[in-house]
Structure 1
């Protein structure tokens, strides 16, 4: 019911088709680990050292992508490699690039899938299981330079709300979680403009003789709604209002009951979304603390908590309560970091004015991407503080291994 929905479905099909159809054993392969596989019997990749790039994937029949060692395995009868198994990750070659699957919390289950849909060497699409319950609950992609997001808030693995233009505001809703958008904000002002009240797959504004349920029709009840102070309680009220609305619609309730239910739903949704926008505000006070230098190694101490300087290793369970940023074990030539950071553009940490650091606009969901020398970045830490950092050096130590040295300074000291 929109270009963004069509794009999302295409991306889901891309990932699902290649991972579950072409390599139906991939989930078992990753959770079993490389030690439980027999080598394919061929010395794949020993004469190549380049990393995956545009057009380097051989569909599982060659190793021009540059992976070395016994990580390549195959369950097929042909003996050709189908998947590369590493520590906490697996890579599936495609005609254009690679599909990267990761076990970020090291519980033996895939919780992140990264796709390069254009073959330019950048992972532009991600499917993330943020609560590690076995279902994707966050989707993000970049199309023609525009970032888009989707979130599952009902826990069924289907996107419920979307931010299709990356402005930090939700602009599409799937009310009954059937995979079809039911409300759409076409002018991006925060209010739905198109509605599918009867869930028939067509916006009611495009049909004749329909009854519109505009917010405010049942003002007698909506005025009694009080937004709670916690996100958990706001979410509970939102789900209750949603369930009540769907039940009334399915029961062919009266117009008055529907108006009241819609008002309650709109109020609860607005309340919940006030807690769950795509960006957040961080605390900021004073100048910078001491500028420090640290090296993150994807094969060793790959993550850091900026406030204490404590490092965490790749063999430890990593959560955002314990670390603020970590090195990505991507099979690319450039360094990439995972965290909640923004790019301030070209500059130097030595010349950065603390007053120029924004206190809002930081992503609430983790972001991952390339960092470049000569640029300054700011991360919103788990405690709400801010840390500015810059790239000092980068060394690719393996097919998907990196050592990334950064300089950083905590805003407000420390």
Structure 2
């Protein structure tokens, strides 16, 4: 059976991803994916996408709003654009998306299947069943509006889809993984993300098998009209309390506040990232650091990207930490440092290119950077997070800071009290 990995609260956010960020997310997402495939294989990339905590951290390191539902749409969109030109080489294909794009998923899967020799009909059926289970069999109050289906040349797949509850202004993300999946109706989810909003009817749980059979029996014995009358009588009665601890998964709570606070970050892990960048950067990136524009700040971002590539699942419980690599489009925790972002992409692209040519020294340096970050983790000062954010805000203009509000002006040109928020 597919393993459940947990859940998380996702506040609904509106707005669009600006073109300057969307283009960079496309490039960075594709390069990170390629690095994971080179190091660990295609199946491992699918497992990462099926892990809700990693998925949220992946979006945060790319400059999206670290805690919001928008990460789902933007990550799926970035991967679809970025991996399309690499599909033949990587063997990974991204289909579907938000709204009308989700309804095109079966046709896109058929096209992929014809190119690589898969059973397109079976993939389309899986896509429709996944959507039906999460929209009808799991009655949790969230209406689906996004369906992303990622499939490999081997026929393995992961589905990431999301629903919204307009009343509570919350989103719920569902993760499916074909690896180990033997039934669509007995605990099929790899994970469900979202806040519990009350009693949930989950007919996709193996414990609901008897209930499913009784529903079919009722339909045959009573017919739909009598069932509707009996249901109306039951709705007038108070519902019994739901059993404690049943059918709910542990979940990561993504807070409503947009700013990154100390309590959102595991400070000792951040300390490890910072110390590894300071101690390993000069040794492993000696030639790189001589290039104008690449310095300690870029190596710090690379340390967090390296963790996204190499980190163990337990390390992604604080997605906010990964927003400290490239900031956020809404200036939280700080404006996106475009110069740093572009240098991160350039370094990773160089490492991937050299790896394809048989030279893995730069990819190995990233792996060592991540290993050192874990080794160097120590108890950190309570104000470490605030200190890091303040330093990036102070140098935002120097780093080419950009947000949905436009380019960051020099600090000297901003009146006191106006810079932290707009």
TM-score, normalised to structure 1, is: 0.26
Of structures 1 and 2, the one with the larger relative CO (CA 8 A, separation 6+) is 2
Higher helix share: 2
Higher strand share: 1
